[in-house]
């Protein structure tokens, strides 16, 4: 045994199959449940030091993901519902289980970084193994740089952490892959894992996560595929979330989103403390399982709340002073025209007209030109601020027709002032809008890029199209510097 296993063999005390071998005639999910509740010990948190007790919702998840024909399964649920312990337990079972048809188990633990994978699921699984002699004596842990893993000699199984780099994932051959925190992982990583699986008669990719700060992640994309009716027969998706728009203090909604409350391994007092101490947007994301825009946008950590409070529909008045901001794209991005007009109380009301790219990715700037002509004909348009990139020739044509075109290059000097003025006006409640969802989506997607003068909006860092946000800043800034704010009328 020394020659076969090297120095690590000195720590191996038992190279025989475990007592679970006699369970092979049981279904996979029944084997997993029995193994987890017999051999896995909770290493930390609620129930620490005791055998893992699976909740009904976790047993249901196992039954779904191990059903015949299923090769991938995803669960969305808030934090605090035993996700890491559950994932670690399943990974541990998969490492020690025997499936003659699929060969030696390979169980990668995938996270955004290697260290995250080690800290979360892999580290918990390793602690579970060390806590039970039946598992600890049949396995060999390695902790060398680039070789962190647990090896089980009797079945040739290995479990190891790995980052979500798509290229590296495609080289795997998983019997069971665990994806941790799908709400913060690129969809390309999930797709790469699916491409890597399928090399065995039975292989499974499992992902569990909480909604992230934005929609550019695997969990959001997979959820959208399901909502749009694109779920293939071999894919399972389960979501635990409170109802959209619910009262954040409704404890019945807390129970709907957090199945661990019913299983009594989550304390409701922890949620009561969290709702009192956390920003509402964070509580909705992490504790209610809801998707919330604008959490880390240029309007602050509660951008959604800030923007939503400004919703107050208003119809523009013909022939009244109006200012416009234009941000144009030719391919893939969107083109936005934002017009603002003062309300009787002095607030600037903003309206968006936006064009999204065609299936070929192209945009026709003539639509924006036609809309600007209509605004010019109906209202007293004082200025139309635009970025000359992609719009210099159309702007010259419109100027020749008598439209008040104003070139505003998106330089730090010009845009920092425009963004700063709009930011202050928004926070002071001096801006209103009609509640257009597309307007909100683009405004809340914008992320600040700081400089020595303040900050501007960064397309490269933002999580979605932000042309409407840029148009808003151009329009509000021009209105702010050319007209004094009228006194409020009560």
Residue-wise pLDDT tens digits, 436-462:
999 999 999 898 888 877 899 987 766
Comparing 29-33, 123-127, 301-305, 444-448, the range with the smallest average pLDDT is: 301-305
pLDDT in tens, 162-211: 999 988 898 899 999 999 999 889 999 999 988 888 778 889 999 999 99
Domain coordinates of the chain in residue numbers? 2-239, 308-482
Question: Starting at the edge strand that comes first in sequence, how are the strands of the sheet with 380-386 ordered?
Answer: 405-407, 380-386, 321-327, 335-342, 348-355, 431-433
The DSSP H or E segment spanning 326 is strand 321-327
- Tell me which fold the domain 308-482 belongs to: Nucleotidyltransferase; domain 5 (3.30.420)
- Report CA-CA distances (Å) from 367 to 179, 331, 396, 465: 44, 14, 16, 18
Instruction: Name the β-bridge partners of 407.
Output: 386
Using an 8 Å Cβ cutoff, are 93 and 34 in contact? no
Averaged pLDDT, 206-223: 89
The pLDDT value recorded for residue 406 is: 95
- Per-residue confidence (pLDDT) for residue 229, from 0 to 100: 82
Distance, CA of 111 to CA of 178 (rounded, Å):
9
Tokens representing 301 are 């950590």
Could you give the CA distance from residue 366 to residue 74 in angstroms, rounded to a whole number? 44
Question: How far is 382 from 395, CA to CA, in rounded Å?
Answer: 15
Structure tokens at 310: 């400004």
Q: How far apart are the first and last CA of the chain?
A: 88
Q: How far apart are CA 389 and CA 477, in angstroms?
A: 19
CATH topology of domain 2-239: Rossmann fold (3.40.50)
In tens, the pLDDT along 369-418 reads 999 999 999 999 999 999 888 899 999 999 999 999 999 988 888 899 99
Q: Quick one: tokens of 216? A: 């550019």
């Amino acid at each position: 045994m020394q020659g076969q296993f090297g120095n690590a063999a000195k720590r191996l005390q038992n190279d025989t199959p475990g007592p679970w071998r006699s369970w092979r005639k049981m279904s996979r999910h029944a084997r997993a449940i029995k193994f987890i509740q017999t051999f896995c010990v909770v290493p930390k948190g609620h129930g620490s030091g005791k055998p893992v007790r699976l909740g009904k919702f976790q047993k249901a998840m196992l039954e779904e993901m191990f059903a015949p024909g299923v090769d991938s399964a995803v669960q969305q649920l808030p934090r605090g519902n035993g996700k890491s312990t559950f994932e670690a337990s399943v990974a541990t079972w998969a490492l020690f289980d025997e499936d003659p048809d699929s060969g030696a188990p390979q169980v990668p633990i995938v996270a955004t970084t290697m260290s995250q994978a080690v800290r979360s699921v892999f580290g918990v699984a390793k602690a579970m193994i060390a806590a039970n002699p039946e598992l600890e004596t049949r396995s060999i842990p390695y902790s060398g740089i680039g070789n962190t893993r647990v090896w089980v000699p009797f079945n040739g199984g290995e479990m190891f952490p790995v980052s979500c780099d798509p290229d590296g994932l495609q080289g795997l051959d998983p019997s069971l892959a665990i994806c941790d925190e799908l709400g913060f992982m690129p969809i390309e990583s999930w797709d790469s894992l699916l491409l890597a699986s399928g090399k065995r008669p039975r292989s499974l990719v499992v992902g569990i996560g909480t909604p992230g700060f934005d929609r550019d992640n695997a969990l959001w994309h997979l959820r959208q595929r399901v909502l749009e009716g694109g779920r293939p027969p071999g894919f399972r998706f389960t979501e635990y979330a409170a109802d959209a728009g619910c009262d954040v203090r409704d404890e019945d909604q807390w129970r709907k989103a957090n199945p661990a409350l019913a299983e009594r391994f989550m304390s409701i007092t922890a949620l009561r403390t969290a709702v009192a101490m956390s920003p509402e947007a964070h509580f909705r994301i992490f504790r209610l399982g809801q998707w919330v825009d604008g959490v880390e946008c240029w309007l602050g950590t509660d951008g959604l709340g800030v923007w939503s409070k400004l919703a107050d529909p208003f119809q523009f008045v013909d022939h009244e002073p109006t200012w416009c901001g234009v941000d144009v794209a030719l391919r893939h991005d969107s083109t936005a025209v934002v017009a603002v007009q003062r309300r009787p109380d002095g607030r600037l009301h903003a309206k968006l007209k936006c064009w999204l790219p065609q299936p070929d990715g192209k945009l026709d700037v003539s639509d924006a030109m036609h809309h600007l002509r209509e605004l010019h004909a109906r209202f007293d348009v004082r200025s139309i601020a635009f970025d000359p990139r992609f719009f210099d020739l159309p702007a010259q044509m419109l100027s020749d027709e008598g439209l008040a075109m104003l070139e505003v290059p998106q330089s730090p000097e010009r845009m920092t002032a425009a963004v700063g003025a709009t930011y202050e006006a928004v926070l002071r409640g001096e801006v209103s809008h009609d509640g257009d969802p597309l307007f909100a989506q683009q405004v809340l997607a914008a992320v600040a890029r700081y400089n020595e003068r303040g900050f501007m909006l960064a397309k490269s860092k933002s999580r979605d199209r932000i042309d409407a946000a840029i148009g808003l800043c151009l329009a509000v800034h021009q209105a702010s510097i050319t007209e004094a704010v009228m006194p409020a009328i009560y």
